[in-house]
Amino acid sequence: MIKPVGSDVLQPLFVYDTDEHHELLHEAEAMPSVIVSSQAAGNAVMMGGGYFTPLKGFMTVGDAMGCAENMKMSDGSFFPVPVLCLLEDVDDIRGAKRIALRDPNVEGNPILAVMDVNTIEEINDTQMQVMTERVYGTLDMEHPGVNTFNSQGRFAVSGPIKVLSFSYFQNDFPDTFRTAVEIRNEIQERGWKTIVSFQTRNPMHRAHEELCKMAMDSVDADGVVVHMLLGKLKPGDIPAPVRDAAIRKMAELYFPPNTVMITGYGFDMLYAGPREAVLHAYFRQNMGSTHFIIGRDHAGVGDYYGAFDAQTIFKSEVPENALEIAIFEADHTAYSKKLNRVVMMRDAPDHTKEDFVLLSGTKVREMLGQGIAPPPEFSRPEVAEILMNYYQSLGK
């Protein structure tokens, strides 16, 4: 099985030992505490589940700058983006050696993790600008990721953490949320050797389904892990339970048995395009995948990134041998009227746009809201029905 990044074994930071967990939770109630940002909470959940192996906690500003500038921490270890615990106010924790991190996304702000405080540093404007520009490729505050990153505060608290909760993800998505540990275990139980991962924050239409099948055929994979983002999205995105139902229906009806694992992870989308694509590959290797599909404008938003920047970054910027996972480079995929099947556009050079069944996201949402199913070449009818019910419920 493929090794985790920079380690022989997965290193989840969740406290699985019941006695230690209970004792830490009890101790944490008396510790100085802070309510962290939603982004920091998502990062803690990812560290808890082993996805960020071998990271031990939140980074210092020096490590974060190294990750932003050349994807390396000060000790030389690879990580593609800064993982910071940013706060607006640190008066309540100054001088504390150990603090409790509280969850911003659950009522009552329960304890999410315990941190041993190594440093509390104030980030200056130049450092913030460098990190923003290198990770997001822009300083435009209209970019949702840039806005979020720059709105959490300027005090960075670093140190190793012990995770005591998977936030709302485990309770709200019990059938879908999985840690990297759990996914690795299931891959082993299924006997899979070659595994493709597919990232999605949207329901899967016909083109996505066929893209997964193309990738599986190309690398002779045993199965595909459909890995859904369950964290915060941008306004207008379809809620996770609706996506989940649509994807499960597609897998049940249109894939051979024992070839699809439907899973999800708790993380807030960065919309950082190429850099986020590298992060996505990083934690897919940690969860046991050997191949990862990256298509056009992966993890992008608006017009901030070139169509294939998320593929070229692996050749141009990722340090050599940093990752073992192989990237399956995909083009836009659509149904060809000429060939009567779904193809990658690059594989049909003799086609014009009129030869494909192409619908914009806006047009699809309009159709679904009016109770009109998109053509079967675009969306499986059973999937369209689930989405139609959702969009029509919004108008009631």
Strand-pair category, 57-58 with 155-163: antiparallel
pLDDT of residue 231 exceeding 80: no
Chain segment 168-182, per-residue pLDDT in tens: 999 988 989 999 999
Question: Mean pLDDT over all residues of the chain?
Answer: 94
Q: pTM of the entire structure?
A: 0.94
pLDDT of residue 293: 97
CA distance 322 to 377: 40
Percentage of residues in the chain having pLDDT higher than 90: 81
pLDDT of residue 284 exceeding 70: yes
Give mean pLDDT, residues 63-90. Answer: 97
Phi, psi of 158 (to 5 degrees): -115, 160
Name the band, by pLDDT with cuts 50, 70 and 90, for residue 391. confident
Which two tokens mark 126? Answer: 């130049």
Shortest CA distance to 34 belongs to which of 118, 156, 146, 147?
A: 156
pLDDT of residue 202 exceeding 90: no
CA distance 308 to 329: 9
Name the band, by pLDDT with cuts 50, 70 and 90, for residue 234. low
Q: Where does residue 17 fall: left (phi above 0), alpha (psi -120 to 50 degrees), or beta otherwise? A: beta
Percentage of residues in the chain having pLDDT higher than 70: 99
Name the band, by pLDDT with cuts 50, 70 and 90, for residue 392. confident
pLDDT higher for 363 or 50?
Answer: 50
List Cβ neighbours of 50 (8 Å cut-off, separation of 6 or more): 4, 10, 11, 12, 13, 14, 179, 180, 181, 286, 287
Highest CATH level, class, for 18-170: alpha beta
pLDDT of residue 360: 76
Chain segment 100-110, per-residue pLDDT in tens: 999 999 999 99
Q: Using alpha carbons only, what angle is made at residue 13 by residues 108 and 50, rounded to the nearest 5 degrees? A: 110
Chain segment 312-339, per-residue pLDDT in tens: 999 999 999 999 999 999 998 889 999 9
Rg (CA), the chain: 21
Lowest mean pLDDT among 79-83, 132-136, 199-203: 199-203
CA distance 346 to 357: 15
pLDDT of residue 82: 98
pLDDT of residue 154: 97
Q: Are the CB atoms for 188 and 218 separated by under 8 Å?
A: no
CA distance 271 to 269: 6
Which two tokens mark 278? Answer: 């590298």
List Cβ neighbours of 13 (8 Å cut-off, separation of 6 or more): 47, 48, 50, 56, 57, 113, 160, 161, 162, 163
Shortest CA distance to 50 belongs to which of 6, 14, 83?
A: 14
pLDDT of residue 292 exceeding 90: yes
C-alpha torsion sign, points 74, 79, 80, 82: negative
Q: How many CB atoms lie under 10 A from the CB of residue 319? A: 12
Name the band, by pLDDT with cuts 50, 70 and 90, for residue 364. confident
Q: Given 3.40.50.720, 1.20.200.10, 3.40.50.620, 1.10.101.10, which CATH number is that of 179-394?
A: 3.40.50.620
pLDDT of residue 230: 87
Q: Hey, where are the domains in the chain?
A: 18-170, 179-394
Name the band, by pLDDT with cuts 50, 70 and 90, for residue 51. very high
pLDDT of residue 350 exceeding 90: yes
pLDDT of residue 233 exceeding 70: no
Catalytic residues: 201-202
